[in-house]
Structure 1
C-alpha cells in the first residue's frame, strides 16, 4: 500500500521548495533592478538619443529574459498519475510509464533525484532537490513507493 508522507494523496505533484522560492524571488528582483536601471540609468553626455533608447530597451530585455528563465526554473515539477510520471525539468518534459522506471535515488553528489530507467538511461527529477533536506528524502521515498506499487503484477493486494 502506498503511504503518503504528510500529504493528502500519494499522487500529489512533486515540487521543489527552496529552489523555487529563490528562483521566483530572484525573478522579481531582476525585473525591478533591470527596470530601474533601464529607466534611471546614466547616459553619456552628448550621446545619440536613439542609441540611448536602444541601450535602455536592451537592458530591459535582458532583465525580462533573466526573469523568464528564473521563473521557468521555479515551475519545474513531476506529476505522477496512475499511468505514469511526467517529469517537467528546466528545458524538457518527459512522459514515462511506471514500467520504464526501475528506481529513484540521489546518485553521488547530484543536486536532485535521479530516475534509473529500464533502457539503462538516467533522468534527473529536478523537482526533488537535495537542498530541501529531509523533505527531499521523504519525497524521494514517496516516489520510490509509487514506483514499487506500480511495478507489482496486476491483481495484487491493495491495487
Structure 2
C-alpha cells in the first residue's frame, strides 16, 4: 500500500517526446544542408531544452512512508506529514488530485492524473485511504 504514485501515460509520453526531441535536434543539425553553425547548435539546444522539460514531467511522483508523503511535481517538491493532509480531492474538472492541507493551502498532486482514467481513480482512492489510515484520529 505504501508504493509510490506516478502517472502512467504522462511518463510514457514524456520519455518518448523527450527522446524524440533530443534525437530530432541532433539529426537536424547533421542532415539539414546549407545551414550555419549557429543554426546547427540551435537545433541541438532546442531538442535538449524540450528533453529537459520532458524529464521534469517524467520524474513527477509521490513517495509515501509511515511518516508522510513527498510530493514531487514539475518544479515543486514538498514533504508533508500525514496530519497536514485534511482531504484528497479528485473532481471539479481538475486534471490531477488535489490535497487540502491543514494550513488552508491546496497542493496539486501531478502524480495522479485524470488522463490515466480508471487507474487514476483507483490511485486517488488509494491515496485517500492512506490519508485516512495515517491522519489524526480522536483516540490518539
Q: How many residue pairs are counted as aligned between the two chains?
A: 140
Is residue 2:59 matched to residue 1:75? yes
What CA distance in whole angstroms lies between the structure 2 residues aligned with 1:43 and 1:96?
54
Is residue 2:70 matched to residue 1:86? yes
How far did 1:150 drift? 1.0
Is residue 2:26 matched to residue 1:35? yes
TM-score (normalizing by structure 1): 0.83
Is residue 2:105 matched to residue 1:121? yes
Gaps of 5+ in 1: 1-9, 45-51
Gaps of 5+ in 2: none
TM-score (normalizing by structure 2): 0.94
- Give the SS at the match of 2:134: helix
Q: For residues 14-33 of structure 1, what are the alpha-carbon distances to aligned partners after superposition, in whole Å with 9 as ceiling and x for unaligned?
A: 00001110111101111121
- Give the SS at the match of 2:63: strand
Verify the 8 A CA contact 2:83 2:136 in the aligned structure 1: no
What CA distance in whole angstroms lies between the structure 1 residues aligned with 2:139 and 2:11?
39
- Give the SS at the match of 2:4: coil
User: Which residue in the other structure is 2:45 paired with?
Assistant: 61
Verify the 8 A CA contact 2:18 2:51 in the aligned structure 1: yes
Is residue 2:4 matched to residue 1:20? no
Name the stretch that deviates more: 147-156 or 56-65.
147-156
How far did 1:38 drift? 1.0
Structure with max Cα Rg = 1
CA RMSD after TM alignment: 1.5
